[in-house]
Amino acid sequence: MPIVTTDHQVTHTSTVPANKDEIVELFVRERNGTPPGQPRKPVLMLHGRSVPVLPGFDLQYKSYSWAEDLAKAGYDVFLMDLQGSGLSPRPKMDDPRNVNPAQQHLLNPRPPGFVPGPPSYPYQLTNSDSDRDELNTVVEFVLNECGTAKLAFVGWSAAAFHMGPYAIDNPGRVESLFLLAPIFPANGSSTPPSPLPQPGFPTFVGGKTGFVRGMDNETHCVDQREPGITDVAWDAIMACDPIGSAWGPPTGFNRIRNFVRWGWNKTTASQGGVLGGSVPVLIVYGDSDTQVNTSPPNPDPELNFSVPELYDAVAGPHKLMVKLACAGHSVVWEAQHKNVHLLSKHWLKHLKVDGKTQGVFDMDTDGILSPVS
């Protein structure tokens, strides 16, 4: 059956300090594959720190659209951008003076009238409270739209900071949690810093050269990704950023929001036994992912990440972890993306992996699972 695609602008009262109390519109794309006469089964997908939701989850190239694959399986898939990312508002980020001062020299040729200097808004942009408030608004929108009591979460990378704590606080709304390459500081802070907003700047920038280099550094297998896919992914990122795409070199810059986070660690992940209890959890990551497992350990607990420690911290018994062979942090654009899609469809339907509801597995490039003893 045909998939119906609708782009929504979801009204939200902002709690981002830079535009607090303003009415904003959050970007949400819906890919609805619900068969006629069947109840809707909503899935909400959330991006990580630097890649907007559409390039990550709905890349319109060959088989790479994860959202489309789930919609073809009969799900009503929603994809959201938080403020500061993608097609949602980016308060204070259009001003190049609000780019990290250490990176302003990269904006060459200069945006018209730009003179490097201290930030016009000398604070970090968003925080855990504002991000979770936006997630809550979109969850309410999706549940109302679909007429359901619960939805499934799918998050990549730093999405874990928002989806994990939200599921713990709202287990009656979250059916299950699928975390791809989750960032987890086991000994990170449970409480917000003071004061808020924190001093700093709103925006980092990332260029295509660094984007490709980051993927190259995690490529250790023949055919781990197909030729030209980095160009396709970068072009999709630039399509979501008309301002950044016009800055600097011909390939433009990806504008990345600077945010303050807290409340996602081994203490909060185990809270109440919700994760792995009423909210089953599947964790998936690549064996070459250097972002989610810091080695050697970072002395700063906020920057010391470990996926296995997340699995250990989940207190409930309904939890699974799968390590993908020949995969890095950007597995959504690698050959293993097909197996990620298959895993997610099996998980959403059965809440099991290889017939099991608990355990740690390896998955080879053919999609064959083997339990880790």
Placement of tokens 């390896």 in the chain: 362
Q: At what angle do helices 229-239 and 208-217 cross, to 10 degrees?
A: 140
* H runs (alpha helix) in the chain: 53-57, 66-72, 128-146, 160-169, 208-217, 229-239, 266-269, 307-313, 337-350
Question: Average of pLDDT values for 223-228?
Answer: 97
pLDDT tier for residue 373 given thresholds of 50, 70 and 90: confident
The mean-pLDDT minimum among 12-16, 94-98, 249-253, 333-337 falls in 249-253
Residue 305 is given by DSSP the state -
Cα separation, 322 vs 286, in Å, equals: 9
Percent of the chain with pLDDT over 90: 97
pLDDT of residue 359: 97
Q: If we measure between CA atoms, which residue out of 222, 207, 179, 192 comes closest to residue 314?
A: 179
* Average pLDDT rounded to a whole number, residues 99-119: 95
Which tokens hold the place of 82? Answer: 């938080």
Which of 92, 144, 78, 154 lies closest to 122, judged by CA? 92
Confidence of residue 348 (pLDDT cuts 50, 70, 90): very high
Distances (CA, A) of 137 to 78, 160, 253: 13, 17, 29
Q: 133: which residues sit within 8 A by CB, 6+ positions away?
A: 12, 15
Q: What is the mean pLDDT of residues 277-289?
A: 98
pLDDT higher than 90, residue 56: yes
pLDDT of residue 1: 73
**pLDDT, tens only, 114-143:** 999 999 999 999 999 999 999 999 999 999
